[in-house]
Amino acid sequence: QKTKETIQSISLSLKEQEKGIEQVNYAISDLDRVTQQNALKANETNEIANQNDEMATTDRKSTRLNSSH
């Protein structure tokens, strides 16, 4: 009887561990998804900043040309 109870207890513990591991896996998947989204947004922001820098450089050159005439 004692052996049977011990085995049942171990079985229950393993099921609880399995549920915990599943929850950790879901959390890691969510973190990975959000990290990838953040990386994409960072790249988009960098591209926009580069475009703004190019426009500012063009505007400065244009302003210099216009003020020299």
**Predicted local confidence at residue 34, as pLDDT:** 98
Under DSSP, the state recorded for 19 is H
Determine what percent of the chain falls in helix, strand and coil, rounding each to the nearest 5. 95, 0, 5
**CA angle 25–16–20, rounded 5-degree value:** 20
How many angstroms separate the CA atoms of 60 and 66, rounded? Answer: 10
What Cα–Cα distance (Å) separates residue 52 from each residue in 12, 48, 63?
A: 60, 6, 16
| pLDDT tens sequence across 9-60 | 999 999 999 999 999 999 999 999 999 999 999 999 999 999 999 999 998 8
